[in-house]
Chain A
Amino acid sequence: EAGVTQFPSHSVIEKGQTVTLRCDPISGHDNLYWYRRVMGKEIKFLLHFVKESKQDESGMPNNRFLAERTGGTYSTLKVQPAELEDSGVYFCASSQELVGVEQYFGPGTRLTVT
């Protein structure tokens, strides 16, 4: 069974540009999460989808970040316009249930904004 995949693995963009990160969860997992780690800080929750609906987006830093999950399958996270402080590693995770189960994480996308 394929795990959670993320694309691209690395992205280097200039300040002010737009970047779109993609996450493909494990097939059949209704729950999809985005997290990120910025340099020197802890991994932080960004948002949670149940199928195509945003269940919790309390961790989204500001309105430059837009997440979508069309059709309840893969998800995209767009940053527009990117700022220097957006640099970090963005992780996606998926799970079958909400609690009492494991979340499966992807390898992450390393975003560098110069």
Chain B
Amino acid sequence: DAKTTQPNSMESNEEEPVHLPCNHSTISGTDYIHWYRQLPSQGPEYVIHGLTSNVNNRMASLAIAEDRKSSTLILHRATLRDAAVYYCILVKGSSNTGKLIFGQGTTLQVKP
């Protein structure tokens, strides 16, 4: 399985944009890029996913590099509730399980 690399931690101020980077230099052509987050004492929560094109939803935006070797999760206006561990996960399009391989993720701290 292709590996992802994320910074261990990041800080942001409330109501400012946050850009969470993820490197996946060994990504294959059929790998989907998924982002999940885990708030304290809760199960992981889906944020967004994409394949080649940038994606937007009500929670965030996903910017995918042209060579797909990196991506950035963008929270447009961070709130205190966005403090969580964010995971960048690759899922093979040809997978017969769809299982998620979690790394250590990026712990996002949001300051008021």
Contacts and interface: CB of A to CB of B under 8 A. Distances in A.
Interface of A: 4, 31, 33, 35, 42-45, 48, 55-56, 59, 91, 93, 95, 97-108
Contact of A45 (B46, B96, B100): B100
Nearest to B45: A105
Contacts of A55: 96-97
Interface of B: 32, 34, 38, 42-46, 49, 51, 91-104
Contacts of A43: 38, 44, 100, 102
B95 A99 contact: yes
Determine chain B's interface SS by DSSP, over half rule: loop
Contacts of A99: 32, 91-95, 98
A100 B93 contact: yes
Given A105-B45, A107-B43, A35 B93 contact: no
A101 B42 CA distance: 20
A33 B95 CA distance: 14
Given A42-B104, A100-B32, A100-B49, A108 B95 contact: no
Contacts of A97: 98
Contact of B43 (A45, A56, A102, A108): A108
A35 B36 CA distance: 14
B93 to A, nearest CB: 5
Contacts of B32: 99-100
B102 A98 contact: no
